[in-house]
Structure 1
Amino acid sequence: MKNYKYIGLFLLSLGLVSCDVDNTLPEIQAEAIPEVALNTNGLDFSSYVSVGASFTAGYTDGAMFKAAQENSFPNILAGKFGTNFNQPLMNDNIGGLVFNGTAVQPPRFYFDGAGPARLSATPTTQLGVPASGGPFNNFGAPGAKSFHLGFPGYGQLNPYFGRMASSPTATVMGDALARNPTFFTLSEIGGNDVLGYALSGGSGVDQTGNFDPSTYGGNDITDPNVFADVFSGMVTALTANGAKGVVANVPYITDLANFTTVPYNPVPLDAGTAAAVNGAYAAYNGGLQQAYAALNQVAPGLFTEEELNKRLINFSEGQNPVVIIDEYLTDLGAINPAFAALPQFRQTTADDLLVLAGASFIGTLADPSNPASVRGVAVALGDQWVITPQEQTAIKNATDAYNTTIAAVAGANPNVALVDFKGVLSEASTGITFDNYNMNTGLVTGGLISLDGVHLTGRGYALMANKILEAMDAEFGSNFTSATNGLAKADDYPTNYSPTLQ
């Protein structure tokens, strides 16, 4: 009790003393942050036009919809430029297009707690009905390849350009140039020239060496020389009257979530099931070994032991690779008809990339009445589900060639700045900082890539806009990166859109 008494007396004495002392703390003034005025160094934004494909349009979550368009990187840039910027806005935030009451382009994805899911709603934007609010500044046409941008009547083939085309025979570039641009962005030109090939698992054709794009299929890779002619012509036309602008190089699209989310070994099996599957492949494996022995007697090296081992099918307890058809394997039946029953099967390795659409396909039944007909296990996956190393090389070679052209054209024209989107995406594969966020290319949680695994989130497009502004500062002497409110803020842009936003 004595201790408590003394403590109480001590506290009382402090209280008595405090009555005689003014203990009001002086107000601490926040340090004033000096305002930095924007200096555009003579850049003329009075007529800003953007030319490109889906990134330019603001395509997000597998669809075009109004909120995403408003968060497109060109619209963000126009806000920083302080200029009017008209876009062919969709009617709603559902996304997609409708014709006679039927959706012909699907609604957008949303996150349902487990993964991407399509909105259960019908679009209201009518196919073939021109958008209101023109003439437009944003000439982003989702799906457009480089050579499409100069194709007369492209609006009849691309419904999104069709909504903004000035006439049935208009070209994207013609309509853009008709706005007499004083400043422009030319972005992701070349992306779709390899993207269709990648999304189809390399089932298209690498058209390198074919200079006639009228003969190309929808999923083919554009010849680099065709790309070079188109790209250099576009830049020449856009800068002919003294306009300045920014061009972007092409990222390695195989770094995107669409190609990195599904693992090469997505099939879980217990020991009993694995043994049963191996039993089903016993005859196939035995036939391969017989073919190897026979062919090596008459043509050593034609069917190597390395290829034999690659083609032998073996499942085990745990996570397993899937069985695929690989067109790059030796066609044994073409060498000897006796081996025609041996298909070009192998299991995937860590060097293969499975496309995101495979997540809902692998493991399903090819025959609903046969529980053993599991796709990727008993039934081999076709070419459209996997990008093999050879196909990845074709994509990389074309991308590198496109980027060589883009860098050369930009370097030769003092009115053009180059932004390194390839470097940005490469950095983002492990993590890139944007204000207080560390963003990466992971699906759903990465913050950069939207729910379709290819296109950016609103926050991703804001980062893209900032990278363009940085390139402008470096090339043209503006100061967007240091001016007050010169850059987009990460917190002003979403990574996911609510399903209630319709």
Structure 2
Amino acid sequence: MKNYKYIGLFLLSLGLVSCDVNNELDEIEAEIVEEVLLSTNGLDFSKYVSIGASFTSGYSDGALFIAAQENSFPNILAGKFGTDFTQPLMNDNVGGMVFGASVVLEPRLYFNGAGPARLAATPTTQVTDVISGPFNNMGVPGAKSFHLGVPGYGTLNPYFGRMASSPTATVLGDALAQSPTFFTLSEIGGNDVLGYATSGGSGVDQTGNFDPSTYGGNDITDPNVFAQVFSGMAIALTANGAKGVVANVPYVTSLAYFTTVPHNPVPLDAATAAFVNGAYAAYNGGVQQAFGALVGYGLMTQEQADAEVAQRTISFAAGQNAVVIVDEDLTDLGAINPAFAAIPQYRQATANDLIVLTAASFIGTLADPNNPVTVNGVGVPLANQWVLTAKEQAKVKTATDAYNNTIEAIANANPNLALVDFKGVLQEASTGIQFDQYVMNTSLVFGGLISLDGVHLTARGYALMANKILAAMDAEFGSNFTMATGGLAKAKDYVTNFSPMLP
């Protein structure tokens, strides 16, 4: 009871003291943020048109769908420009396309808690449906640089087919017909190397071939062809005094599509490793014998032979192991001596090889469901399409550097063009790039920048892209988007993963 008495006295004393206290707190003044008015320094946004490929369209999570299009960087820019902007919206948030009742382009991906998964829904956008334009967003997924001027390209590309002004229209022609006063010409050149890279280098480097009509879908575009196309587009778009922003090409091999699957994803115990080594013993012995013979014939030095044998020898151990791959750049022994024709071009992958994202669901499966030793990546080497080797990566880089030299030279020579360095943005993002309160990187799912398909951007990534374009405009044209109140997109307004329940 004493405790309660003293507590009561303490509370009473507080009450008495409070009678002498000023209970009206001084008002805390709100922090005054000075508003900075936007100055466009004379830029005319009355007719903004964006020309490009999948990034321009807003493609994300392996598909094109309404929510992604609404978060495309051109649509974000148009909001900052205060101008109307029409887009060839898909019919739904499922993504993909159908031809009649057949699905011809798959729905979008979503994160199912373990990784990317395809939405279990049927698209409603018909390939054969044509919608009325014109459209300010002329981003066409899959388009290479030279495709943008091909008459009738809509018959080859369903995304352009549904928005083309006529069956013989060109992407650039439909853009120019709108008499743009401002434009963005972005990621031109990206698809000119991307198909080669994502197919594991299964295409052809067409450097030296100036006829793109002979190219395959996964081929690398000749840099001179690219230069002619890009120069022509820049000249045509600025001919009437329009200003615009052009973007250089990132190194696509820095994308999550190439950096997610490790070269050594095969876990084995000691017994299994010994069994696999036994299976490759004949191959290893054949390699040693063949190169020993080549040294004896005087066709190569012992040092050269030792290096090739070391590269081609296949050996597994307990723990994580590198996959076995087919490398077409290895010496073709059969071409030297028909007696060695049965020795294939096998080796194990190294950290210098890039295993493509789609291989994640292929490695470890059985090539023959009835034969447990036909494990893909172990007993059955991965074919060319699953791996981008160091030599193939070099071809991608060489072409990309040539494209960027052209883009930079044209931008520097034309006062109506600003250049945005998307190559530098992606390089910075490989370790982490700051966007407001977030640090984004190129990791799949949780990096924040790259969408679930491993190539295209998230909505927040496209917002960052828009801000980089606005900064380039400020630097070149004297506008002040980066300083003006509300002049830039805010990271918190854009998601990194769309819900599977989007209406």
Report the TM range for the smaller structure's normalisation.
over 0.9
| Aligned residues of 2:182 and 2:242 also touching (Cα < 8 A) | yes
> Where does residue 75 of structure 1 map in the other structure?
75
- Aligned to 1:161, what secondary structure does the other structure show? helix
Q: Distance in 2 between matches of 1:23 and 1:122?
A: 64
Letter in 2 for 1:30: A
- Aligned to 2:79, what secondary structure does the other structure show? helix
Q: Distance in 2 between matches of 1:223 and 1:156?
A: 24
> Where does residue 239 of structure 2 map in the other structure?
240
Q: Distance in 1 between matches of 2:359 and 2:440?
A: 25
| Aligned residues of 1:90 and 1:131 also touching (Cα < 8 A) | no
Q: Distance in 1 between matches of 2:287 and 2:95?
A: 50
Q: Distance in 1 between matches of 2:21 and 2:324?
A: 83
Q: Distance in 2 between matches of 1:5 and 1:169?
A: 96
Provide Cα deviations, 1:332-351, integer angstroms capped at 9, x if missing partner: 11111221111000000000
Letter in 2 for 1:64: L
Q: Distance in 2 between matches of 1:290 and 1:420?
A: 52
| Aligned residues of 1:264 and 1:354 also touching (Cα < 8 A) | yes
| Aligned residues of 2:61 and 2:110 also touching (Cα < 8 A) | yes
Q: Which moved more, 1:416-425 or 1:294-303?
A: 294-303
Provide Cα deviations, 1:384-422, integer angstroms capped at 9, x if missing partner: 000000000000000000000000000000000000000
> Where does residue 320 of structure 1 map in the other structure?
321
| Aligned residues of 1:48 and 1:85 also touching (Cα < 8 A) | yes
Q: Distance in 2 between matches of 1:443 and 1:168?
A: 39
> Where does residue 192 of structure 1 map in the other structure?
191
> Where does residue 59 of structure 2 map in the other structure?
59
Q: Distance in 2 between matches of 1:192 and 1:300?
A: 41
Q: Distance in 1 between matches of 2:241 and 2:311?
A: 58
> Where does residue 489 of structure 2 map in the other structure?
488
Structure 1 residue 24 displacement after superposition: 2.6
Structure 1 residue 300 displacement after superposition: 5.0
> Where does residue 159 of structure 1 map in the other structure?
158
> Where does residue 293 of structure 2 map in the other structure?
294
Structure 1 residue 299 displacement after superposition: 2.1
Q: Distance in 1 between matches of 2:257 and 2:418?
A: 29
1:416 and 2:440 correspond: no
> Where does residue 387 of structure 1 map in the other structure?
388
Provide Cα deviations, 1:229-287, integer angstroms capped at 9, x if missing partner: 00011000000000000000000000000000000001111111111000000111111
Q: Distance in 1 between matches of 2:164 and 2:425?
A: 32
> Where does residue 473 of structure 1 map in the other structure?
474
Structure 1 residue 301 displacement after superposition: 2.6
> Where does residue 257 of structure 1 map in the other structure?
256
> Where does residue 172 of structure 1 map in the other structure?
171
Provide Cα deviations, 1:464-498, integer angstroms capped at 9, x if missing partner: 00000000001001010111110011111111111
> Where does residue 270 of structure 2 map in the other structure?
271
Q: Distance in 2 between matches of 1:261 and 1:468?
A: 28
Q: Distance in 1 between matches of 2:223 and 2:173?
A: 23
Provide Cα deviations, 1:316-370, integer angstroms capped at 9, x if missing partner: 1111111111011001111112211110000000000000010011110000000
Structure 1 residue 440 displacement after superposition: 0.4
Q: Mapping of 1:7-156 within 5 angstroms?
A: 12-132=12-132, 134-156=133-155
- Aligned to 2:364, what secondary structure does the other structure show? coil
Provide Cα deviations, 1:141-194, integer angstroms capped at 9, x if missing partner: 100000000000001101001111110100000000000000000000000000
Q: Distance in 2 between matches of 1:482 and 1:169?
A: 44
Q: Distance in 1 between matches of 2:202 and 2:260?
A: 20
Percent of paired sites with the same residue: 77
1:217 and 2:216 correspond: yes
Q: Distance in 2 between matches of 1:417 and 1:494?
A: 28
Letter in 2 for 1:354: I
| Aligned residues of 1:188 and 1:249 also touching (Cα < 8 A) | yes
- Aligned to 1:290, what secondary structure does the other structure show? helix
| Aligned residues of 1:89 and 1:131 also touching (Cα < 8 A) | no
| Aligned residues of 1:62 and 1:108 also touching (Cα < 8 A) | yes
Provide Cα deviations, 1:111-148, integer angstroms capped at 9, x if missing partner: 1111111111110001121124x211110010000000
Structure 1 residue 23 displacement after superposition: 3.0
Q: Distance in 1 between matches of 2:12 and 2:299?
A: 101
Structure 1 residue 26 displacement after superposition: 1.3
Q: Distance in 1 between matches of 2:258 and 2:322?
A: 16
> Where does residue 350 of structure 1 map in the other structure?
351
Letter in 2 for 1:437: Y
Q: Distance in 2 between matches of 1:143 and 1:484?
A: 36
- Aligned to 2:121, what secondary structure does the other structure show? coil
> Where does residue 398 of structure 1 map in the other structure?
399
Q: Distance in 2 between matches of 1:140 and 1:234?
A: 14
- Aligned to 2:393, what secondary structure does the other structure show? helix
Structure 1 residue 463 displacement after superposition: 0.4
Task: List structure 1 runs of 4+ shifted beyond 3 angstroms.
Answer: 1-15
Structure 1 residue 8 displacement after superposition: 7.0
Structure 1 residue 218 displacement after superposition: 0.5
Structure 1 residue 3 displacement after superposition: 10
Tell me how large the CA RMSD over aligned residues is.
1.4
- Aligned to 1:122, what secondary structure does the other structure show? coil
Query: Per the alignment, do residues 125 and 3 of structure 1 end up closer, same or farther by CA in structure 2, a change over 3 Å counting?
Result: closer
Q: Distance in 1 between matches of 2:21 and 2:121?
A: 69
Structure 1 residue 291 displacement after superposition: 1.3
Gaps of at least 5 residues in structure 2 are: none
- Aligned to 1:378, what secondary structure does the other structure show? coil
- Aligned to 1:304, what secondary structure does the other structure show? helix
Letter in 2 for 1:79: G
